[in-house]
Amino acid sequence: MLVGYAAGGTTDIVGRLVAEGMGAHLGQQVIVENRGGAGRIPAALVFLQQPADGYTLMAHAGGVNQAAALGTPMTFDPVAIWEPVGLAGTSALSLLVHPGVPVANLRQLQAFAGAQGTPFRFGSPGIGLASAYFAQELGIEAEEIRYRGTG
């Protein structure tokens, strides 16, 4: 099972739980291989190079589709290549600020960031629609600091 995210993040944890359950059901070990980074494209390319025999799966959380929506060049159509076989979980998106930032809601954050005079820096687990549109929707100048994953 390919996981297109760094080890320790939500998709990795869910992928490992699914692999464990599948392994118990199938009577053989299901190996998880993390291939994080670059909008999940490397994992998708490895996946596409495998025979279509059902022995290689990919835990997919939409990252490749989001990268395509943002115009990331790729040699395949991410919408056409997937054949979903099940839903393992859903997650919510959270916006957190350091306790020292004097805001209690999104409007206050917007005003605070706009008044700084410098780009507002925020961390994200990598390219994705939520992180790409964060500053745009708030109407503030921002600098995204990308981490290798959510872990």
Q: For the domain that residue 14 is a member of, what is the CATH number?
A: 3.40.190.150
**Pair 41, 72: CB distance under 8 Å:** yes
Q: Are residues 21 and 58 in the same domain?
A: yes
Identity of the highest mean pLDDT range in 16-30, 49-63, 131-145: 16-30
- Tell me the average pLDDT across 12-25: 95
Q: Given this model, what pLDDT does residue 126 score?
A: 66
Q: Given this model, what pLDDT does residue 16 score?
A: 96
Please indicate, yes or no, if residue 86 is contained in any of the structural domains. Answer: no
Q: Are residues 50 and 112 in the same domain?
A: no
- Tell me the average pLDDT across 18-36: 95
Q: Are residues 69 and 32 in the same domain?
A: yes
Q: Are residues 147 and 98 in the same domain?
A: yes
DSSP string for residues in 71-119: T---SS-HHHH-----------------TTS--SSHHHHHHHHHTSSSP
Identity of the highest mean pLDDT range in 15-24, 65-74, 95-104: 15-24
Cα dihedral 13, 16, 22, 27 in deg (nearest 10): -150
Q: Are residues 23 and 71 in the same domain?
A: yes
Which has the higher per-residue pLDDT, 80 or 34? 34
Q: Are residues 6 and 53 in the same domain?
A: yes
**Pair 7, 147: CB distance under 8 Å:** no
Q: Are residues 145 and 123 in the same domain?
A: yes
Average pLDDT, the chain: 84
Residue ranges of alpha helices (H) inside 30-125 are 41-48, 63-69, 78-81, 106-114
Q: Are residues 6 and 74 in the same domain?
A: yes
Please indicate, yes or no, if residue 19 is contained in any of the structural domains. Answer: yes
Main-chain phi, psi angles of 33, to 5 degrees:
-120, 120
Domain of 58?
2-81
Q: Given this model, what pLDDT does residue 87 score?
A: 87
Q: Are residues 100 and 123 in the same domain?
A: yes
> What 8-state DSSP symbol labels residue 76?
S
| % the chain with pLDDT above 90 | 31
Q: Given this model, what pLDDT does residue 104 score?
A: 92
Q: How many domains does the chain have?
A: 2
Q: Give yes or no for residue 131 having a pLDDT over 70.
A: no
Q: Are residues 68 and 96 in the same domain?
A: no
